[in-house]
Amino acid sequence: MKKVGDGRPGRATAGGKRPGPDGEGRALRQLRGMSGGEVVVSLPRKWLQSQRLQAGNQVALHRIPGDGILVAPSLRRAPQDQLLSMEVEGDERPEYLFRRLIAAYLGGYDSIRLRHDEMVAPEIRKVVKEFVRRVAHFEVVEEGRESVVLKDMGPPEGFSTGALLRRMAQLTRAFLTESGECLGKGTLRPDLSRLPSRDDEVDRLAWWMERVLLRRSIVPVAPSGPASWSQGVHHLLAARGLERISDHAIRLIGESERLNQGAVPGELRLALQRFHAEVMDLFAEAAGLLDAPDPLRANQLIDRAEGIHSERAALWERFLLAQRLPRLPSSVAATASLLLESMDRIASYSADLAELTLDIESSAHGLPNGNLLPETGAPSPSGGPEEGSQPSQPDPKGR
C-alpha cells in the first residue's frame, strides 16, 4: 500500500513474504516505520476489492474501546439508492398500509413507490401524509393519479445514537412530569383528544434509530461509536424501552385527568402521588445511566424496582381489595387501578434500562464483537441541530 503523496511502493515484510489473510475476517500485517513516528500497514487485496477501494481513496481511522483501531471507507461513499414498489389494493385498510410503510422504512429503503391499478384514493394519500409526518426525513417527491413516490431526503452521515436516547429520555421525562402535576394538583386540564399523538416524536426517534442501524449493518460507514454490534443492539433496545415508558406516561396523563373527574379521597390521591414520585425518580436515574453506566448503581436500581412492585401490590390490597375506603366510587377505583398498573410497568421498563447499562458497560470494555456499528454527528430528525433484511413486524403502539 502506498503512502499518500509519497509515490514509493510499500516494502515487503521481513523475509520477503507477506502473511496472508487468516480465514475471512483476520489478517496479519507488520507495521512499517515512517518519518515523524507514523507507520504504514498494507491491506489484503481481496478486502480492498470487496470494499471497492484502491490507491488514492480516502479511508477513516477511529479508535474504539478495548484499544482497537478501525479502518473504514470514507463517509462520502454513499450506498446505491434502494427502491421498493408497493401495490395498493383498493380495499386495503389505512392502518394496514401505514404498517407496511413503517416496515419498509425500518427495512432501510431509500425510496418507496405506491401504485394503484386505477387511482390512488384520497384515503391512501392521507395515510402517506401521516407517514411523512411521523417518520424522519421522508418526503413525497412525485405524485400522480396512479402512483406516489416517497424518498429519504435526510443527510447520509447518520446520527448520534447517544443524542437520540437523551432526547427520547428528555421527552419521556416531560410526559411523566406532566402526569405528576395532573395527578397531584388536580388542576391541569390536558386535551384528551390529542393524547394519542403526543408521543409521536418519541416513536419517530425510535424508528429512525432502528432504520439507520439496520442500514449500517449492511453498508458500513466510518464510526465514532457505538463501538460494536452489541452496543448498537443495546442502544436500540434502550430506545424501545423508552418508547414504551413514553406510552405509559401518556396514559398516566389521560387516566389522571379521568381520576380528577370523580370524588377522590385525599388519602388515595396522596398515596398515588408518592408512588408516582418513586417511579419517576427510578426512571430518571435509570435513564441517566445510559450516559454514564455505573454497574453498582444499576444493580441498586433493579432492586428498587422490585421494591416498587411490592409496594404496588400493597397499595392495590390496601385501597382496592380490602375496601379500606368503602365509599370509593367504582369509576375512581377502576382508574386508580389503571394508574397503578402503568406506573408499575414504567418501573419494570426502567429496571430493563438499568440492566441494559450493565451490558453496555461490559461491551465497552473490549468483549469480542462482530461487525462495528457507527454513530456520527448529524442534524436531528426535524432538520435542526443535533439534539437529541426487512425487520420483524413493527409495533406501532400495540403493547
173 found inside a domain: yes
The residue type of 48 is L
Q: What's the confidence (pLDDT) of residue 214?
A: 77
Q: Are residues 268 and 137 in the same domain?
A: no
How far is it, in rounded angstroms, from Cα 176 to Cα 174? 5
374 vs 259, residue with greater confidence: 259
Q: Are residues 207 and 342 in the same domain?
A: yes
Q: Are residues 189 and 329 in the same domain?
A: yes
Q: Worst-scoring range by mean pLDDT, 44-48, 106-110, 113-117, 189-193?
A: 189-193
Q: Are residues 353 and 213 in the same domain?
A: yes
How far is it, in rounded angstroms, from Cα 336 to Cα 179? 13
> pLDDT for 310-357, tens place per residue?
999 999 888 877 655 557 788 888 899 999 999 999 999 999 999 998
Q: Is 347 left (phi over 0), alpha (psi -120 to 50) or beta?
A: alpha
User: Measured at the alpha carbon of residue 337, what is the angle toward residues 336 and 339, in degrees to the nearest 5?
Assistant: 65
**48: pLDDT confidence band, cut at 50, 70 and 90?**
confident
Which residues share a beta bridge with 140?
150
Q: What's the confidence (pLDDT) of residue 370?
A: 36
The residue type of 34 is M
How far is it, in rounded angstroms, from Cα 278 to Cα 285? 11
240 vs 13, residue with greater confidence: 240
Q: Are residues 135 and 226 in the same domain?
A: no
104 found inside a domain: yes
Q: Are residues 165 and 147 in the same domain?
A: no
Distance set, CA 86 to CA 34, 119, 123, 126, 127 (Å) = 55, 14, 16, 16, 14
How many Cβ atoms are within 10 Å of 289's Cβ, its own excluded? 23
Q: Are residues 302 and 201 in the same domain?
A: yes
Q: Which residues contact 116 (CB under 8 A, 6 or more apart)?
A: 87, 88, 90, 124, 146, 147
Q: What's the confidence (pLDDT) of residue 312?
A: 94
Alpha helices in the chain (DSSP H): 45-50, 94-106, 122-134, 161-185, 200-218, 229-260, 266-289, 295-315, 330-363
CATH number of residue 261's parent domain: 1.20.58.220
Helix (H, G, I), strand (E, B) or coil at 165: helix
Q: What's the confidence (pLDDT) of residue 67?
A: 55
106 found inside a domain: yes
Q: Which residue range is the domain that position 307 belongs to?
A: 161-363
336 found inside a domain: yes
Q: What is the percent of the chain with per-residue pLDDT over 90, rounded to a whole number?
A: 30
The structural domain count of the chain equals 3
Q: Answer whether residue 287 shows pLDDT above 50.
A: yes
Nearest Cα neighbor of 63 from 76, 73, 72 is 72
Q: What's the confidence (pLDDT) of residue 302?
A: 96
389 found inside a domain: no
Q: Which residue has the cell 427510578?
A: 282
**369: pLDDT confidence band, cut at 50, 70 and 90?**
very low
Q: Which three cell numbers stand for residue 331?
A: 369509576
- Percentage helix, strand, coil for the chain under 3-state DSSP, each rounded to 5: 50, 10, 40
Q: Are residues 148 and 189 in the same domain?
A: no
75 found inside a domain: no
Q: What is the percent of the chain with per-residue pLDDT over 70, rounded to a whole number?
A: 69
Q: Which residue has the cell 397499595?
A: 315
Q: Which span out of 65-69, 103-107, 215-219, 391-395 was modeled with the highest average pLDDT?
A: 103-107
Q: Answer whether residue 76 shows pLDDT above 90.
A: no
89 vs 9, residue with greater confidence: 89
Of 152, 184, 213, the residue that ends a domain is: 152
Q: Are residues 281 and 313 in the same domain?
A: yes
197 found inside a domain: yes
Q: Which residues contact 132 (CB under 8 A, 6 or more apart)?
A: 138, 139, 140, 150
Q: Are residues 235 and 124 in the same domain?
A: no
Average confidence (pLDDT) over 89-104: 88
